[in-house]
Structure 1
Amino acid sequence: MDLRQISFRLLEVFMSVVKSGSISETARRLHLTQPTVSLQIKRLQETVAEPLFYTYQQRLHPTDAGMRLFQTCQQVFGHFEDYQGYLDELRGGERGHCRIAMVNTAQYILPKLYGPFSATHPNVEMHVEVGNRAHVLSRFERGEDDLYVFSHPPTLEHAQAARFLKNPLVFIAPKGHPLSQSSGLNLADVVKYRFLLRESGSATRMLFESELQSRGLVLSNSVKMASNEAIREAVSAGMGVAVLSEHVLGQDQSNIVKLDVSDTHLASHWYFVVRTDRHISHSAKSFLRFATSHLERYLDSPWTENELHRLNVTEQQP
């Protein structure tokens, strides 16, 4: 591979195609023509002497060689972003980008941390991506962000996780439900009713289904819903019962009752996760240091479990 034939602009076009999966979308984003983008990708593939993309379901996907080049580009561009941040720091400011991807439920928690951080670091740009577990895992696999938040972190060699908050799960029903006045319920009593569930792969659903399987229980009736908010509102409207994170319930619980299921105690933890094989921005490290020092102050202290010091990236750089 002749590096003299590769320019930063060429790599920028390549990275955009990987992210968008589309020549036309890349052309729109970069204000280029489609033939120009296609020619750039052709030039790059000829220089690398390996196919960089394949087409599946009318989208472009990176080959193994393409994904490795994409990760290399992220490292290179990341280091140049850091250098620009270093120059800004020399001029007396704190600048940079902190990219966080989190699963849906975490959006009820993280603003309590990155809100105060942004107030004290106004020149740090926070980029927050929220999605279901599959979406955030996909971003993690591509290494698109600095930090990730999961309740069940990926068990991969290049994933380093540290828990910071307990995530208790509660059974809820609408007021007036046949179970709403009962105490000392068993899980077998609850599963007879219609359950509102997140999509397959949701961490809460996986934990709940694992409990059912271990007890030899099966739901008699269930409905899949797209979000925690939808489930909470549907329970409030009398559509069924559900199991949700306590952090999701919010202040207004006037139409919801927490069920006393005495033989079942479901809980997990929230984790910050980083990729050990990827460059982490100085701004993201600064945010983690802030979270390590201020976790109990800004989150509900009964639920905090601060192990963020275990992340090597929280160490102060010389």
Structure 2
Amino acid sequence: MKNISFRQLKALLAIEASGKVVEAAKVLGLTAPAVTLQLKQAEAEAGVQLFERSAHGMRPTEAGRAVLAAARDIGERLRLLDIEIDAFKGLRRGRIAIGAVSTVRYFAEPMLAAFAEAFPDVDCDFIIDRYAETIDRLKNRTIDIALVGRPPRSLSVRATTFGEHFLVAVAAPTHPLSRRRGIAKADIAGEHFILRGAGSGIRLFFDRFIGDAAVRAGATTTEMESVEDIKRAVMADFGLAFLAAHSVAGEVQDGRLVILDVAGLPIRRQWFAISRADRVLTPVMRAFQDFLTKQGASFLPDAPLH
């Protein structure tokens, strides 16, 4: 594969993305025969078939997927090189893609606004999703940095802490437990809980905290993906919830929710900014991590704990 060209690799990536030579040619600004020639030359260099035609278009073979993975790695390295060269020129510009778990939305706006003010020539893509999907994006290199409540075990990452958050149980003010103090875990184990889905980091900590007590008590749960939907259900006294304290700060202050005084709660956690350990930190990534280390905690809302 020593003689394969970057132009051929770009053609392969375009074919994969579109599934058709004709569509790939449009993206590349070439003719379809020219793209077909690039494919044939790449296959001749590899000595194996890289794509096969199917009813659904061009599909990469197993060998083709290996070549495409290498093509993406080469493209990513060249992108980083371009950023590094700009840094040597003294340019403070670039692009960064940041992924975050859903509870980051409660402090993301002022944090990103402050970063944009400090680095006005940096374009920032910001994606909020569940924990599992955010980690998948980091694995697939579609984001540069992830803001999460715990580093993953399935991926080698470098992690920087930038603040604390607390996990609490909440109820409607009319719920009988809202007026009790020193509630035992067993006393809430049989309550109906409205929870995030299994892919949520908060759900993982709830399952660890409640453990077998919920099974013994025959507890029931309802799953909702939106924190806002969960809060509305709890305010309607549909059940209890387990959430980040900063995500319910407004409702607690207004008297629409109550943080329960449960033994073992709140659970104290750290916020982490993580990136792949096998990636070279670009100047923009380094600038964002430094920004979080120095200023990140100042954007975290005060979390009510009782």
Give the TM-score, by structure 1 length.
0.76
Tell me, yes or no, if the aligned pair for 2:167 and 2:267 is still in contact at 8 Å.
yes
> How far apart, CA to CA, are the structure 2 residues paired with 1:60 and 1:170?
51
SS in 1 for 2:178: coil
- Does residue 292 of structure 1 match 2:299? no
How far did residue 156 of structure 1 move?
4.3
Secondary structure at 1:94 match in 2: coil
Which is higher, the Rg of structure 1 or of structure 2?
2
Give the unaligned 5+ runs of structure 1.
Answer: 304-318
8 Å Cα contact 2:196-2:223 kept in structure 1: yes
The runs of 5 or more residues in structure 2 that have no matched partner are none
Q: 1:256 to 1:53 in 2, by over 3 A?
A: farther
Instruction: Check conservation: 1:158, 1:276, Cα contact below 8 A.
Output: yes
After TM superposition, list the pairs within 5 Å mapping 1:77-156 onto structure 2: 77-85=75-83, 93-156=91-154
Distance 1:62 1:227 in 2: 37
For residues 217-236 of structure 1, what are the structure 2 equivalents within 5 Å? Answer: 217-218=215-216, 220-236=219-235
Counterpart pick for 2:208 among 187, 190, 210:
210
Query: Superposition pairs for residues 24-43 of structure 1, below 5 Å?
Result: 27=23, 31=27, 43=40
Shift, 1:180, TM fit: 1.5
- 1:164 match: secondary structure: strand
For residues 76-102 of structure 1, give each alpha carbon's deviation from its aligned partner in whole angstroms, at most 9, with x where no partner exists. Answer: 334433454456567765210011111
Matches within 5 A, 1:7-18: 7=7, 9-10=10-11, 12-13=13-14, 17=17
Paired position in structure 2 for 1:199: 197
The 3 A distance-change label for structure 1 pair 41 and 146 is: farther
Measured against aligned partners, the alpha-carbon deviations of 1:276-302 in whole angstroms (never above 9, x if no partner) come to 212433212111112222234433589
Question: Larger deviation: 262-271 or 120-129?
Answer: 262-271
Matched residue type, 1:185: I
Deviations 1:103-135 (A, max 9, x none): 112222333322201012111000111111221
Cα distance in 2 for partners of 1:236, 1:103 equals 23
| SS of 1:249 mapped into structure 2 | helix
Structure 1 residue 237: deviation in Å? 2.3
Q: Which secondary structure state, in structure 1, belongs to the residue aligned with residue 166 of structure 2?
A: strand
Give the secondary-structure state (helix, strand or coil) at the position aligned to 1:185: coil
SS, match of residue 262 in structure 1:
coil
Partner of 2:19: 23
Matches within 5 A, 1:162-181: 162-181=160-179
Are the aligned partners of 2:194 and 2:221 in contact in 1 as well (CA < 8 Å)?
yes
Q: Which amino acid aligns with 1:256?
A: L
Q: Report the equivalent of 1:161.
A: 159
User: Letter of the aligned partner of 2:94 in structure 1?
Assistant: G
**Alpha-carbon distance in structure 1 between the residues aligned to 2:68 and 2:50:** 10
Q: In the alignment, what sits opposite 1:312? A: none
**Helix, strand or coil for the counterpart of 1:196?**
strand
Q: 2:185 aligns with which of 167, 184, 187?
A: 187
Contact 2:12 2:39 in 1 (8 A): no
Report what 2:270 is aligned to.
269
- Please state how far the C-alpha of 1:194 moved relative to its aligned partner: 1.1
Displacement after TM superposition at 1:171 (Å)? 0.7
8 Å CA contact 1:188, 1:217 repeated in 2 = no
Q: CA deviation at 1:202?
A: 1.4
| Contact 1:96–1:125, Cα closer than 8 Å, also in 2 | yes
- TM-score, normalising length from structure 2? 0.79
Letter in 2 for 1:271: F
Percent identical residues:
23
* Change in 2 beyond 3 A, CA 1:92/1:140: closer
How many correspondences in the alignment? 294
CA 1:2–1:86: 2 relative to 1, 3 Å: closer
Q: 1:123 to 1:59 in 2, by over 3 A?
A: farther
1:282 maps to 2:283: yes
CA contact (8 A) 1:172 1:243 kept: yes
Amino acid corresponding to residue 231 of structure 1 in structure 2 = I
**What is the DSSP-based 3-state SS (H/G/I as helix, E as strand, rest coil) of the residue aligned with 2:143?**
coil
